[in-house]
């Protein structure tokens, strides 16, 4: 061992005793040339996970043996230590008001950055530095305890670093080594910042394991320990988090392991830990045929009015608490697949702000009458995966867009994109297309391609109920993206005014035949009506005016899309109390309530074809799910609110889903009652 390595014997010479208990009690400490303090962790066996009171992915608790001694950093790697490897990182200090000082943990580092630091340190020191495995991390955090925290059943205030759920991180001191250590001399294992582990994330196995190293691949690398700006329950020893390995945020740092430390009388050869293969494939990806069956490849008679529904597509067992949640299912996206299937995705959670929020899916297989039960689709562990969107290019590729939070809530989202070329049977690795966590990155289910081949991805520009929608553009099939309104002052939405982004959140966007973009959104109302935004320069500038439609409210999101036949379809909601008065050409009047569809044949100047989205029939009660709940449907009452998504299949059928219900209709049905005028006058 090189002379510059120093072995520091703490407390007294008794720590040199050979028993494990004495060694741990005395804290045999190792320091390297970066003045990093590492603690000896002796082999042992413990129960990994938490069956009672934990999250679903902490089960089943199972026995794990750590067979070799290793050294683990007493604290997280600091700014000063990391910047000896990468001096350019200094510009990241103080972002979000955090981690400014030398002795603060380094943050805004990806898993790849942390791994590169370990490789650099190994070469510099002549040792074998790496990130801890998830099993090593939990073993060291517990330090022989079996309680939720190494402090016992509760986590004292002395350790807290702004332990609350917040829209954005709050400045707080993160200096390492300032809180009491656990029984093995390790500090800040609970909280401060999350810590990268070497493992790919995946479900636990029930059998006993020795030195497990996780799965062979996946989307997410494990992080452990929780962080500032996080509720205390997520700081437990057993709690699991994770994110994309390229992700960087103010919540994640790391500590290092020095491995291959000799143990007296240890076997010379140790069996290699078995890498776990890929987790089980979810139902929505199983047995996906790649061609439309011959008996289903039939063109519909588009001249005959067609309507079917509603039927429920959200099927989750009552009492489900992960990875599917029966409590709240909302914000859907819908796509027709190249093989003729329909694929719906949405988020499932206890609370919309919660870390448990995950994206789940259901498939309506071509020729089937019923949707399959829901199954997991995409879930960064303990991240709020807000706002999914889907788009099919009409040829062979399905795109999946999603928000990825830094923590809980949808206040600090990055945007990811995945693709599938086999009707959703498999997906590419998720890629960060908007890697910074912040505003303007929450996808809206209104993705389309312009005639010029530009992909348009709308994203809410704000986190609240008003403030507008940004658009992101890709001219190279999604490889690179730009935001034409980024960095410009927030618009003042008024009739005739112009601004840098769309009026109203959750906006639907279409391209007009003259090349301009037209959008309708929720909030930022003009003259008491839903705002309309038009851009003649591909989103650099928008002009605002009042649309003819009633404004949207909470729990409502519209659909705006061009039909294959040419007209533009808009689906929205009449005011809940006063409804909407429809008057036909013969003077007959009818007041309707709830979800209606409108068709324009003159590029949005007029909308003469308006119809309530209901099959009619006797009055009956249905479940709208999401924020809708129970509602009454009959000839004059349709679903009162919901987040809408729609796609049109090659046979001309428009498939429309709300937060729980699925409707099918065609253009002939929309035109069946003839042109009407509408008014909001009571």
321/198 same-domain check: no
Ramachandran angles phi, psi of 237, nearest 5°: -55, -35
Token code pair at residue 160: 């807290």
Q: What domain count does the chain have?
A: 4
**Cβ(627)–Cβ(465) below 8 Å:** no
Q: Are 226 and 194 in contact (CB under 8 A)?
A: yes
> CA–CA distance from 134 to each of 21, 139, 185, 211 (Å)?
23, 9, 19, 10
- Nearest Cα to Cα of residue 460 among 477, 487, 484, 442: 442
Domain termination residue (choose one: 525, 547, 569): 547
Q: What angle do CA 141, 143, 145 make, to 5 degrees?
A: 105
Q: What is the CB-side half-sphere exposure of residue 356 using CA atoms within 13 A?
A: 23
The answer to whether residue 477 sits within a structural domain is yes
CA distance 607 to 605: 7
pTM above 0.85, yes or no: yes
In a domain, 372, yes or no: yes
DSSP category for residue 235: G
What is the mean pLDDT, run by run of 10 residues, along the chain of 682 residues?
Answer: 36 30 59 95 97 95 96 98 98 95 98 98 96 98 97 94 89 95 97 97 95 94 97 97 98 95 57 74 96 66 90 97 96 97 98 96 96 98 96 96 94 96 98 96 97 97 92 97 95 96 98 98 97 97 97 96 97 94 87 96 95 96 96 97 97 97 97 79 44
φ/ψ of residue 170, rounded to 5: -100, 135
Closest listed residue to residue 445, CA positions, set 518, 389, 365, 372: 389
146 shares a domain with 109: yes
Q: Do 628 and 674 have their domain in common?
A: yes
In a shared domain, residues 331 and 451: no
DSSP secondary structure string for all residues of 383-445: S-----EEEE-SSS-EEEEEEEESSSSSSSEEEEEEEESSTTSS-PPPEEEEEEEESS-EE-S
State which of 488, 520, 547 marks the end of a domain: 547
Give the pLDDT confidence of 194-245 residue by residue, as tens digits. 999 999 999 999 999 999 999 999 999 999 999 999 999 999 999 999 999 9
Q: How far lies 475's CA from each of 262, 413, 455, 561, in Å?
A: 56, 23, 7, 20
How far is residue 355 from each of residues 22, 148, 351, measured CA to CA in Å?
40, 19, 9
518 and 391 within one domain: no
CATH number, domain at 119? 3.90.1580.10
Decide if 276 is inside a domain.
Answer: no
Tokens 């740092």 belong to 253
DSSP 8-state code for residue 289: -
User: Does some domain include residue 301?
Assistant: no
d(CA 457, CA 435): 15
Which pLDDT does position 171 carry in this prediction?
93
Count Cβ atoms within 10 A of the Cβ of residue 434 and give its class: 0-12 exposed, 13-18 middle, 19 or more buried. Answer: buried
503 with 370, same domain: the answer is: no
> What pLDDT is stored for residue 333 in this prediction?
98
- Residues 681 and 637 reside in one and the same domain: yes
Same domain assignment for residues 289 and 246: no
User: Measured between alpha carbons, how far apart are the two ends of the chain, in Å?
Assistant: 88
Residue whose token pair is 């769309």: 502
Q: Which residues contact 410 (CB under 8 A, 6 or more apart)?
A: 352, 353, 384, 386, 387, 403, 442, 463
- Using CA atoms, how far apart are residues 52 and 60, in angstroms rounded to an integer? 10
Partners of 496 in the beta sheet?
none
H/E element holding 134? helix 134-142
What backbone torsions phi and psi does residue 23 show, to the nearest 5 degrees? Answer: -65, -45
Count CA atoms closer than 13 A to 576's CA, side-chain side.
12
What is the three-class DSSP state of 152?
Answer: strand
| One domain for residues 543 and 563 | no
DSSP for residue 295: G
Give yes or no: residues 534 and 564 share one domain. no
115, 151: one domain: yes
The answer as to whether 271 is a domain residue is no
- DSSP secondary structure string, 471-505? EEEESSTTSS-B-TTTTSPPP---TT-EESSBSSE
> Following DSSP, what letter does each residue of 73-114 receive, concatenated?
ESSPPBHHHHHHH-GGGGGGTTGGG---STTSBP-S--HHHH
> How many Å apart are CA 362 and CA 355, to the nearest integer?
22
Compute the half-sphere exposure of residue 370: CA atoms within 13 Å on the CB side of its CA.
4
Q: Please say which residue of 436, 459, 483 terminates a domain.
A: 436
Q: Is residue 346 assigned to a domain?
A: yes
- 304 found inside a domain: no
Cα atoms found within 13 Å of the Cα of residue 639, Cβ hemisphere only: 34
Residues 6+ apart with CB under 8 A from 391: 335, 398, 399, 401, 447, 448, 449, 455
Structural domain includes residue 131: yes
How far apart are alpha carbons 5 and 340 in whole angstroms?
65
From CA 419, how far away is CA 18, in angstroms rounded? 56
What three-state secondary structure class fits 256?
coil
Domain range spanning residue 118?
Answer: 6-258
CATH number, domain at 409?
A: 2.120.10.10
What DSSP letter does each residue of 27-50 carry, written as one string?
Answer: TEEEE-TT--EEEEE--EEEEES-
Q: Is 32 in the same domain as 63?
A: yes
């Amino acid at each position: 061992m090189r002379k510059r390595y120093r072995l520091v014997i703490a407390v007294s010479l008794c720590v040199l005793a050979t028993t494990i208990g004495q060694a741990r009690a005395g804290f045999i400490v190792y320091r390297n040339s970066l003045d990093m303090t590492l603690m000896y962790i002796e082999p042992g066996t413990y129960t990994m996970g938490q069956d009672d009171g934990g999250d679903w992915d902490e089960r089943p608790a199972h026995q794990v043996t750590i067979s070799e001694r290793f050294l683990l950093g007493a604290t997280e790697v600091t700014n000063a230590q990391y910047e000896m490897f990468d001096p350019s990182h200094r510009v990241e200090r103080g972002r979000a008001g955090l981690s400014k000082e030398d002795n603060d943990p380094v943050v805004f580092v990806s898993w790849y950055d942390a791994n590169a630091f370990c490789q650099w340190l190994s070469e510099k020191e002549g040792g074998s530095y790496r990130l801890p495995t998830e099993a090593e991390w939990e073993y060291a955090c517990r330090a022989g305890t079996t309680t939720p925290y190494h402090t016992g059943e509760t986590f004292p205030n002395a350790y807290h670093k702004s332990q609350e759920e917040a829209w954005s991180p709050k400045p707080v001191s993160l200096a390492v080594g300032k809180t009491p250590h656990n029984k093995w001399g390790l500090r800040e294992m609970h909280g401060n910042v999350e810590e990268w582990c070497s493992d790919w994330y995946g479900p636990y196995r029930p059998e006993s394991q020795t030195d497990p190293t996780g799965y062979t691949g996946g989307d997410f690398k494990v992080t452990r320990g929780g962080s500032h700006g996080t509720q205390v329950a997520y700081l437990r020893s057993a709690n699991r988090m994770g994110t994309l390995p390229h992700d960087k945020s103010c919540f994640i740092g790391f500590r290092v392991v020095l491995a291959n430390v000799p143990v007296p009388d240890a076997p010379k050869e140790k069996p290699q830990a078995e890498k776990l293969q890929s987790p089980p494939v979810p139902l929505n990806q199983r047995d996906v045929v790649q061609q439309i069956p011959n008996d289903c490849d039939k063109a519909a008679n588009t001249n005959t009015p067609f309507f079917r529904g509603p039927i429920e597509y959200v099927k989750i067992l009552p009492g489900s608490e992960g990875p599917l949640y029966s409590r709240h299912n909302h914000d859907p996206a819908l796509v027709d697949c190249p093989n003729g299937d329909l694929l719906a995705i949405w988020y499932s959670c206890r609370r919309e702000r919660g870390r448990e929020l995950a994206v789940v899916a259901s498939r309506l297989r071509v020729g089937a009458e019923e949707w399959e039960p829901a199954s997991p689709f995409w879930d960064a562990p303990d991240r709020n995966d807000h706002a999914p969107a889907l788009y099919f290019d009409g040829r062979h590729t399905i795109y999946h867009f999603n928000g990825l939070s830094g923590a809980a809530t949808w206040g600090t989202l990055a945007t990811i994109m995945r693709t599938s070329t086999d009707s959703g049977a498999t997906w590419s690795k998720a890629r960060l297309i908007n890697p910074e966590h912040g505003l303007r990155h929450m996808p809206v289910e209104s993705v389309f391609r312009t005639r010029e081949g530009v992909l348009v991805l709308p994203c809410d520009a704000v986190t609240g109920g008003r403030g507008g929608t940004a658009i992101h553009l890709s001219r190279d099939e999604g490889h690179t993206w730009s935001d034409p309104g980024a960095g410009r002052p927030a618009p003042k939405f008024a009739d005739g005014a112009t601004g840098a982004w769309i009026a109203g959140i959750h906006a639907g966007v279409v391209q007009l035949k003259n090349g301009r973009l037209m959008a309708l959104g929720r909030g930022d109302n003009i003259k008491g009506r839903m705002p309309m935004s038009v851009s003649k320069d591909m989103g650099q500038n928008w002009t605002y005016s009042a649309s003819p439609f009633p404004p949207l409210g909470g729990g409502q999101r519209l659909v705006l899309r061009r039909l294959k036949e040419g007209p533009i379809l808009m689906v929205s909601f009449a005011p809940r109390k006063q409804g909407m008065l429809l008057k036909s050409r013969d003077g007959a009047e009818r007041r309707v309530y709830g979800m209606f569809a409108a068709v324009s044949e003159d590029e949005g100047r007029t909308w003469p074809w308006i119809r309530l989205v209901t099959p009619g029939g006797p009055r009956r009660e249905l479940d709208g799910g999401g924020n809708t709940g129970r509602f009454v449907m009959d000839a004059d009452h349709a679903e009162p609110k919901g987040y809408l998504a729609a796609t049109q299949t090659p046979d001309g059928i428009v498939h429309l889903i709300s937060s729980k219900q699925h409707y099918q209709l065609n253009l002939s049905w929309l035109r069946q009652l003839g042109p009407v005028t509408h008014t909001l006058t009571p």
